[in-house]
Amino acid sequence: MNLTLDFAGKTVVVVGGTSGINRGVAEGFAAAGAKVAVASRNPEKVADTVKALEAAGAEVAMGTSFDVRDPVGVAEGLASFQAKLGDFDVLVSGAAGNFPALMSEMSNNAFKTVVDIDLMGTVHVMKAAYPFLRRPGASVISISAPQAYLPCEGQVHVCAAKAGVDQITRTLAMEWGHEGIRINSVVPGFIEETEGAERLAPTDEAKAATMAAIPLNRFGTKADIAGMCLFLSSPLASYVSGTVIAVDGALYQGGLGMLSQQLGTMLRQVAGR
C-alpha cells in the first residue's frame, strides 16, 4: 500500500477556500502537489490565496469570485475550473456565514441569510459540480460544524443549516455512490486563529471556558482539518463514504454546553432578557 499522500496530477476545488480553515485545506492539497482552484466572494482574497497556493507547491493554482447564493455564478465559476484543470478529483465545499444571535433578536432574513449561504450554497455547489466530478474516484467533502448535531444557544440558524448539510452528505453518498463518487462531512471543532472561532469566543475568558470543554486540551489547527481532508481524498479512505467525521479533540463528547451557555448568557444580557 502506498502511504504517501501525493496529489500530483489531481484537480482539487475548494469553494470558500480563501481564508481560515478552507484556505488551510487548499494549501494542504497544494503542498501535496495538486492543481488547486479556489472561489469566494472577495476577488482580493482570491488573488492573495492563488499566490499562496503557488508558493505552497501547487502544480497549477487558479481562482474566481462568486457568491454561493448565486447558482448561475457558481455554475459558471466551476465550469471555468473544469475547462482549465479537467474533471474534479476532490471538491471541498466550505463557504459559510455565522454570527451569534438569539432567535428572538434575529430577523427572519438574518436566519435565512445563514441558511442561504451554508445550506443552499451547498446545494448550488453540489449540483453545479456534479457533471464535473471524476467517475469513479471523486472525493467530495462538506465542511460542517458541531452545531449540526449539538444544539447551541445563539446558533439556531447555524444548527439548522449545518444539520441540513450533513443530511445532504448522507443522502448523496447513496445517490452518487453508484457512480463511484464518495462524499463525507468534516466537522472542525474549535479551530484557532479563525474568523469562526473569534466570532463565537471573542474574549480570553470565553476562549478559556471553551478550552475547558475540549478533552485533548488544545484548540484545533487548520492543519488538523487539512490532514483529514487529504486522508479522506486518498486511497487510504477509498471505502469511506456518507460519514460525518469530527476533528475536534473530542469536544462533542461533552457537548457544546460551556460555549452554548456562554453565548446565551452574553446575548441575553445584551438583549436585556
Among 5, 33, 41, 60, binds ligand NAP (CB under 6 A): 41
Among 92, 117, 150, 259, binds ligand NAP (CB under 6 A): 117
Question: Cα torsion at 173, 163, 195, 269 (round to 10°)?
Answer: -170
Contact track, ligand COA, 95-114, x by CB under 6 A: -xxxx-x----xx-xx--x-
> Nearer Cβ to ligand COA, position 176 or 190?
190
234 binds, among ligand NAP, ligand COA, none (CB under 5 to 8 A by kind): none
* Full 3-state SS string of the chain: CCCCCCCCCCEEEEECCCCHHHHHHHHHHHHCCCEEEEEECCHHHHHHHHHHHHHHCCCEEEEEECCCCCHHHHHHHHHHHHHHHCCECEEEECCCCCCCCCHHHCCHHHHHHHHHHHHHHHHHHHHHHHHHECCCCCEEEEECCHHHCCCCCCCHHHHHHHHHHHHHHHHHHHHHHCCCCEEEEEEECCECCCHHHHHHCCCHHHHHHHHCCCCCCCCECHHHHHHHHHHHCCHHHCCCCCCEEEECCCHHHHCCHHHHHHHHHHHHHHHCC
22 binds, among ligand COA, ligand NAP, none (CB under 5 to 8 A by kind): ligand NAP
Q: Could you say whether residue 97 binds ligand NAP (CB under 6 A)?
A: yes
C-beta atoms surrounding 262 within 10 Å: 23
Among 7, 20, 32, 119, binds ligand NAP (CB under 6 A): 20
> Nearer Cβ to ligand COA, position 160 or 237?
160
CA-to-CA distance for 3 and 263, rounded, in angstroms? 43
Site for ligand COA in 71-100 (CB under 6 A): 96-99
Give the nearest distance from C-beta 218 to ligand COA in angstroms: 20
154 binds, among ligand NAP, ligand COA, none (CB under 5 to 8 A by kind): none
Stretch that binds ligand NAP, among 53-61, 128-136, 149-157, 188-196 (CB under 6 A): 188-196
113 binds, among ligand NAP, ligand COA, none (CB under 5 to 8 A by kind): ligand COA
Q: Could you say whether residue 112 binds ligand NAP (CB under 6 A)?
A: no
Retrieve residue 78's grid coordinates: 466551476
Give the nearest distance from C-beta 162 to ligand COA in angstroms: 10
Size of the site for ligand COA (CB under 6 A): 13
Question: Which spans of this chain sit near ligand NAP (rule: CB under 6 A)?
Answer: 16, 18-22, 40-42, 45, 67-69, 94-97, 117, 143, 145, 188, 190-191, 194-197
